[in-house]
Amino acid sequence: MAIATATTLRLPVAGGGIEDYTLGPASSYARSYPLPTKRIAFAAAHVVADPLADISPTLEAAIDWDATLAYRRSLWALGLHVAEAMDTAQRGMGLDWEASKALIARSIAEATAVGGHVASGAGTDHLLPEPNLSMNAVIAAYEEQVGFVEGLGGQVILMASRALAAAATSPDDYAHVYDRILSQVRQPVIIHWLGDMFDPALHGYWGSADLDEASNTCLDVIRTHADKVNGIKVSLLDKDREIDLRRRLPDGVRMYTGDDFNYAELIAGDERGYSDALLGIFDAIAPAAGAALAAFDGGDLARYQEIFAPTVPLSRHIFKAPTRFYKTGVVFMAWLNGHQEHFQMVGGQQSARSLLHLSKLFRLADRAHLFHDPEETTRRMRSFLAVSGVAQP
């Protein structure tokens, strides 16, 4: 048995066993990095729940605003932009439109105050998805949310719509809705194509379950409104499809990778182009992302790859199927690293992953050199294990 230290604890392993595990040294990554110049990088940020609110936690949302905004300040300090009120913030999985409005307004105000950049999700999630919805109803819902974000001076991320997916009967319905919205926006938006591994309600988006046909419809929309599209975030976890789409985009329209499995390769790019980034995993690995992008800016590709390499197994684990529950791992990381004082989530989603899953996450995060204070991280993990039924020394 390993000698007990302040950073040693007992972790469960597959098959029912227990092992002693000692955390490695503290992360050497800095708490701030300059804004990258060679790539644009958004971290889709999580929200910190208020654990003391007198609510029904699976039915209502209460947010700790101080901790939530403090985390955004930490992301801006690392040279990252913030993608607000997206699926990482549990949009549609505990965070409704009313709560999202408050989050967007506060985040834009905070960004203005500290010199950060934020882009905010606008969708149709206040509209109940039903097959008998009219396209005009979907358009009106989009108009309300886009108008709210733009009314605050914010950049819009045009989110995929469950209501549109439920009501559309053909690719033409998608073209009609996006045509109406894109013709009205004040500044170029980022279109978000979220795959059904992230949200099963979006199956067949763009009017077809055939991804080749769906890609063509999406590209037709972008080409028709290229002056109103800053870029597209693709979250299909398929690097070859992303590269193919990237090469077919009109000049001036960016590809923002949403591929939490292959981001290092896609951001580095190839002889025919590269992807910028809008990633949920950048919330969990923010210091490493800041360091890797700073190295890339300085022309040190080897260091960029060295930093990102151990984060990829962690990301693939956090985003493993059922992928939509990745937010649990993101918030667990924030708690372990001292960004919040509890492991509670909006909608009770802290229970969406198993003890074994979170224990493996802990090991992988350590191997990726992400823990700034190993003793405090060990103390927190030890308390979590003990209350979960794994006795600690």
Q: Which tens digit of pLDDT belongs to each residue from 25-43?
A: 999 999 999 999 999 999 9
Q: Are strands 8-13 and 81-84 parallel, antiparallel or unpaired?
A: unpaired
Rounded distance, CA 344 to CA 53, Å? 12
pLDDT of residue 356: 97
What average pLDDT does range 378-382 have in this prediction?
A: 97
Q: Which domains does the chain have, with CATH numbers?
A: 31-325 (3.20.20.70)
- Chain-wide mean pLDDT for the chain? 96
Q: Amino acid identity of 298?
A: G
Q: Per this entry, what is the length of the chain?
A: 393
Has residue 3 got a pLDDT over 70? no
pLDDT digits (tens, 9 = 90+) for 93-134: 999 999 999 999 999 999 999 999 999 999 999 999 999 999
pLDDT of residue 2: 43
pLDDT of residue 57: 86
| Residue 344 near residue 350, CB atoms below 8 Å | yes
pLDDT of residue 75: 98
State residue 284 phi and psi, 5-degree precision. Answer: -75, -30
pLDDT of residue 4: 53
What average pLDDT does range 265-278 have in this prediction?
A: 98
Has residue 1 got a pLDDT over 80? no
State residue 49 phi and psi, 5-degree precision. Answer: -70, 155
| Residue 162 near residue 204, CB atoms below 8 Å | no
CA distances from 282 to 125, 188, 317, 385 (A): 24, 23, 14, 26
105 contact partners, CB below 8 Å, separation of at least 6 = 152
What average pLDDT does range 212-230 have in this prediction?
A: 98
pTM: 0.96
Cβ neighbourhood burial of 5 (10 Å; 0-12, 13-18, 19+): middle
Rounded distance, CA 288 to CA 307, Å? 6
CA distances from 101 to 6, 84, 360, 389 (A): 43, 10, 35, 39
Rounded distance, CA 115 to CA 356, Å? 40
Which of residues 302 and 59 earns the better pLDDT score?
302
Q: Is the peptide bond before 393 cis (omega within 30 degrees of 0)?
A: no
CA distances from 260 to 71, 135, 267, 272, 386 (A): 21, 32, 11, 21, 31
pLDDT digits (tens, 9 = 90+) for 163-179: 999 999 999 999 999 99
Which one, of 291, 328, 251, 300, lies nearest residue 88 by Cα?
328
